Amino acid sequence: MATLCHSLDPKAFTNHYVLLRCAEDTYFGFTGNLRYALGEAEFLDWDHEEIERKAIAESSICIVILSPRFLSSPSCLDELVQIVEEFGKGRMGQLLLPVLYDLESSLVQQLIYNHKITVHPHKFDNWLQALTQVFTVAAHFTACHFQSDGDRYEYECIMKIVQQVSKHVASTLGLNLQEKEVIQLLNSGPDDGVHVIGIFGDPAIGKKIARTAYNLFAGEGFDSYCFLNVGENLSGPRFGHFLHMFCSRIVCNNCGISIMSTPKSTLNQMKVFVVFHDINDPDLLKYAVELTNWFGSGSRVIVTSDHKCLFESHGVKRVYQVEMSDRTTVRYENVIDRAEACVSGHPLPLE
């Protein structure tokens, strides 16, 4: 039976769901890593123990990992028929993203032939029709497919899948004004040198803007990339741990280098996209800004902090102040109104 690798609810995009479907042969490997990457990109688990027709109908995005085990499983193919039927209705905002994993044409033909001689003709025709449509769609996403004996790393394919999902959501909902302005800052000026953008203000909104830019562009022409939640993870000796965090992530996203060879001489040759999120310690911010001098020409760096003065004192010239959206402001004002009502209209106890 096909394995439900949970559905994923992107907290940054309301009413968009990603349904991730696979068979057992990729669940703990490729699909597990993809699920983690989608979670890192702010797509969260939508807790369903079993797949239902309703879950397929409510999902606007579906990623199907077509592997040898998937094509060998009657239950997987039955569910594929349901998915193709639902996503063939033409609802606005839908995306069906088939990913071919270790599938060659000769193997596909053999697996299909095995079903032809063992199942009822009517069911086989339904499977064949669904597979034909899915492989036609898959031709548009060749960068997302993976062969274990090929010349690409899994993380490259996974990043491409995350980008496809992010770009689809962005094109469906559109980027908000603040996201557009930060992306414009990233792309302004010549492509040489290292572009460092400082984002200050509300940390949650700043993180969302930085994550959107990262999801859309990190895999486009960069040798490596990483998103570091510095404030959430930093402990122990600050500078040593910070450098280890950074080097570990750069290595994870570029298997051609080792953690022992990531000093300046190596990074100077690499065009990287890096986000340092939630740095509010002046010394640590200084260290992060100095670290950007290690990066190769054309690199892009986003640093988020609560305070503009930290950027000004450390030479970050391109800064952007995030503001609460109208919806956030309304929610904030409603909370204050209710709190004041609870203390008989006297705001003094709230201070």
pLDDT of amino acid 310: 86
Given this model, what pLDDT does residue 141 score?
92
pLDDT band per the 50, 70, 90 thresholds, residue 5: very low
* pLDDT tens digits, 204-238: 899 989 988 988 888 778 888 888 888 765 555 56
Q: Which fold has domain 18-170?
A: Rossmann fold (3.40.50)
The reported pTM is 0.70
Average pLDDT of the residues of the chain: 79
5-14, 69-78, 262-271: least confidently modelled range? 5-14
State the Cα–Cα distance between residues 55 and 4, nearest whole angstrom: 11
Domains of the chain, residue spans: 18-170, 176-324
Q: Which of 125-139, 166-180, 276-290, 323-337 has the lowest mean pLDDT?
A: 323-337
Q: Is residue 279 predicted with pLDDT exceeding 80? A: yes
Query: For residues 54 and 173, what is the distance between their CA atoms, to the nearest angstrom?
Result: 23
Identical fold between 18-170 and 176-324: yes
What is the pLDDT, as a whole number, of residue 287? 85
* The domain over range 176-324 is classified in CATH as 3.40.50.300: yes
Q: Give the pLDDT confidence of 143-161 residue by residue, as tens digits.
A: 899 999 888 889 889 988 9
Tell me the pLDDT band of 14, cut-offs 50, 70 and 90.
Answer: very low
Backbone φ and ψ of 5, nearest 5°: -90, 40
User: CB 45: neighbour CB atoms within 10 A?
Assistant: 14
**Residue 199 pLDDT level (bands cut at 50, 70, 90):** very high
More reliable by pLDDT, 320 or 254: 320
DSSP structure class, residue 306: S
